[in-house]
Structure 1
Amino acid sequence: MASPLARVNVRADLWETLWSFAHRVLAVNLLLALAGAPLMLALSLVANPWQYPIFFGLLALPLAPAVAAAFGYYADDDPRPPLTKLFRLMRSRARRSLLIAVVAGSLIGVLVVDIKMLATSLPAAVPPLVVLLLLVAVTALNALAGAPVRLAIYSGVRGWGLSLLSLGVLAVALVIVSQAPLVGLAIVPGCALWVVQTNSQAQLARIVRRIG
């Protein structure tokens, strides 16, 4: 009996690549769902979550090790790395990723408050603060992907186009998840993080080539 692949004009190695990608995305989505379960539950119960930034910030902290593990999982050379490896990566990267999340979250919180306060009294100061906020977010993403902090800042600035693309993809993913939670959580987060990880690796590779 002929293989079903013979009826489709697609090479077998391409099918393997697609299945490998699907495997990783599903595994990452599972980890993110587990790490973000307390946050999602609280968001479903509280009407105005923005009024409790510290509480929801603490609930969001477990997502940092999950994101760091997802980046490492995507970078693995194994076509289908086992799910246990994803959890091992989360455990091994927990301390550093939590520190990155706390520092970046604190800076972003301060910048958001400053922007809100200066929006009416000193609007000219808002654009630089927005740029600084975006730089903190990009640096945190690159650092979670494994880059040293200084290199994460430098690569984020030098590769500003990819940095904006990563932030844009994450923003779209958040909108989709907020509008269609079940479908969004099942598909979107893992795909969005794959884009971010790919962009971060491209930025770092470019910097390494310049240094070399």
Structure 2
Amino acid sequence: MASPLARVNVRADLWETLWSFAHRVLAINLLLALAGTPLMVALSLVATPWNYPIFFGLLALPLAPAAAAAFGYLALEDHRPPLSALFRQVPARLRQSLVVAAIGAGLIGVLAADVTVLAKSLPGAVPLMVVLLVIVAITAINALVLVGLRPELGLRELLRLAVYTGVRGWALSLLSFGVLGAVLVIVSQAPLVGLATLPGCALWVVHTNTQAQLTRITRRSR
């Protein structure tokens, strides 16, 4: 009896695309694992990490250059760019990505503290603060993508474009935000399996969504 797989007729370029995707995802997962090792070790040792936001925020900062490098790596036109091309992206995006991450983390920390205080004293203002919190988080994510895609932009132009793309393309922004949130939940429940497979896929979704937002804005401006 012939195997069912014998009837599968897949074009060579489709196989090339699939292998290229798998290659990039595994390479990005490796980089993120290296950048996040101190954070993961600290999380495994501390039972209540939310009591030490500054400490864990500092440990999470190396993930920003890794993510920006991953976005730049995904933008490369080669089908299977070498692993060295990914690691070369890190120093090129280091300064801008750290500044973006520091600004985003600082604003998110302030807004989160405001939400905690207002929930007790002025509950009616909480929804507005939550919306601002989501906008800041989406802007930070888009800014990291733009660091990878548009490294020639200055910080002011980069942040302005990140806010604009995030608000105008709010549906794709929420999708990216939701995918990253789902990955965090899965990784917290199954760290080894989650870290080995999901982060690169999630960053690919974020990268694709932000590129779609930029393309739409560029077409409208013409």
Q: Normalising to structure 2: TM-score of the pair? A: 0.91
Pairwise mapping of residues 82-161 of structure 1 onto structure 2 (< 5 A)?
Answer: 82-146=82-146, 148-161=158-171
CA displacement at 1:204 relative to structure 2 = 1.2
Name segments (4+ residues, structure 1) moved above 6 Å. none
User: Can you list the C-alpha shifts for 1:174-204, whole angstroms capped at 9, x where unaligned?
Assistant: 0111111111000000000100110111111
Amino acid corresponding to residue 184 of structure 1 in structure 2:
G
Partner of residue 44, structure 2:
44
Q: Distance in 2 between matches of 1:23 and 1:9?
A: 22
Amino acid corresponding to residue 149 of structure 1 in structure 2:
L
Amino acid corresponding to residue 59 of structure 1 in structure 2:
L
Partner of residue 174, structure 1:
184
CA displacement at 1:7 relative to structure 2 = 5.5
Amino acid corresponding to residue 106 of structure 2 in structure 1:
S
The total of aligned residue pairs comes to 208
Pairwise mapping of residues 27-38 of structure 1 onto structure 2 (< 5 A)?
Answer: 27-38=27-38
Q: Distance in 1 between matches of 2:109 and 2:121?
A: 19
Q: Provide the secondary structure at the position in 2 that maps to 1:145.
A: helix
Q: Distance in 2 between matches of 1:151 and 1:210?
A: 14
Partner of residue 74, structure 1:
74
Q: Provide the secondary structure at the position in 2 that maps to 1:92.
A: helix
1:210 aligns with 2:210: no
Partner of residue 63, structure 1:
63
Unpaired stretches in structure 2, ≥5 consecutive residues: 151-157
CA displacement at 1:8 relative to structure 2 = 2.8
Q: Distance in 2 between matches of 1:85 and 1:137?
A: 28
Q: RMSD of aligned C-alpha atoms?
A: 1.2
Pairwise mapping of residues 13-24 of structure 1 onto structure 2 (< 5 A)?
Answer: 13-24=13-24
Q: Normalising to structure 1: TM-score of the pair? A: 0.96
Q: Distance in 1 between matches of 2:119 and 2:167?
A: 25
Q: Distance in 2 between matches of 1:84 and 1:64?
A: 18
Partner of residue 173, structure 2:
163
Q: Distance in 1 between matches of 2:128 and 2:73?
A: 35
Q: Provide the secondary structure at the position in 2 that maps to 1:47.
A: coil
Partner of residue 191, structure 1:
201
Q: Distance in 1 between matches of 2:72 and 2:125?
A: 38
Q: Distance in 2 between matches of 1:63 and 1:101?
A: 9
Amino acid corresponding to residue 30 of structure 1 in structure 2:
L
Amino acid corresponding to residue 48 of structure 1 in structure 2:
T
Q: Provide the secondary structure at the position in 2 that maps to 1:93.
A: helix
